Amino acid sequence: MHPNAEKAYLESQAKAFMDTINSIEPHLSAGVQTIREQWSEGEIVLEKAEGLLKKLPQTVEGIYESDDTLMDLTHLLALPSWTKYVAAIQGYDCLANSALLTILRQEIHRFNRLLSVVCSSLRSLCLAVKGQIILTDALEDAYNSFLSMKMPTLWQLHSYESCKPLGPWIADLIERVTFFKTWSKQFVTTAQQ
């Protein structure tokens, strides 16, 4: 067998082995076992989902409603003054022609889409657990993922690559969103000077 094929085979075997181990271990840690005895699985999932909805931002940059607050990148780039600035540039300008600006815009768009998927699925999961909507296959996967502390499949489809369990992945997502928010604010501040 070619070394790369052997490596891929061994990795798939290890993943299958770990999935088997995870499927037979208890769904919740021992510290939560006392809560589990008092609450149903649905109540535990509902509490976790509602807690995540409170922790996660809706978008990377947030929504600014008053004129005296710092504007976000999307609004800055849509202003006529920015369009005039870009049109008036003769040659290269490190601010307007920066490849990092393109990357920042793409990453903000990507993370806004991910946050939209995560937040909408969390809202739907809360409604399904309460019995207000039907529990679809995707919501059932999210429900089971919350019990086993894994990232739901729907989120994986829209997310960056990560092998982290649910809790550390959420903390990592919040750190990444904060990083791009800070980067955007710094760019807007520099552009407004």
pLDDT in tens, 1-37: 788 888 989 888 888 887 777 666 555 444 444 444 5
Average pLDDT, the chain: 79
The percentage of residues in the chain with a pLDDT greater than 90, rounded to a whole number, is 20
Tell the residue number behind the tokens 């800055």, with chain if given. 76
Contact 104, 186 (CB under 8 A): no
CA distances from residue 118 to 124, 143, 178 in whole angstroms, order as listed:
10, 13, 16
Q: Give residue-wise pLDDT tens across range 34-50.
A: 444 556 788 888 888 89
Nearest to 171 by CA among 28, 52, 22: 52
On the question of pLDDT at 66 being above 50, the answer is no
Q: What is the pLDDT of residue 34?
A: 46
Q: Give residue-wise pLDDT tens across range 88-120.
A: 676 666 666 777 878 888 888 899 899 999 999
User: What contacts 86, CB < 8 A, 6 or more positions away?
Assistant: 96
Q: Give residue-wise pLDDT tens across range 147-158.
A: 888 889 999 999
The token pair at 148 is: 């086993």
Higher pLDDT, 160 or 190: 160
Q: What is the pLDDT of residue 81?
A: 63
CA–CA dist 166, 150 (Å, integer): 5
Identify the band that residue 73 occupies on the pLDDT scale cut at 50, 70 and 90: low
Contact 65, 180 (CB under 8 A): no
Mean pLDDT (whole number) for 126-135 = 89
Q: What is the pLDDT of residue 24?
A: 65
How would you label 179-189 residue by residue, b for 16+ Cβ within 10 Å and e otherwise? ebbebbbebbe
The token pair at 113 is: 């889409």
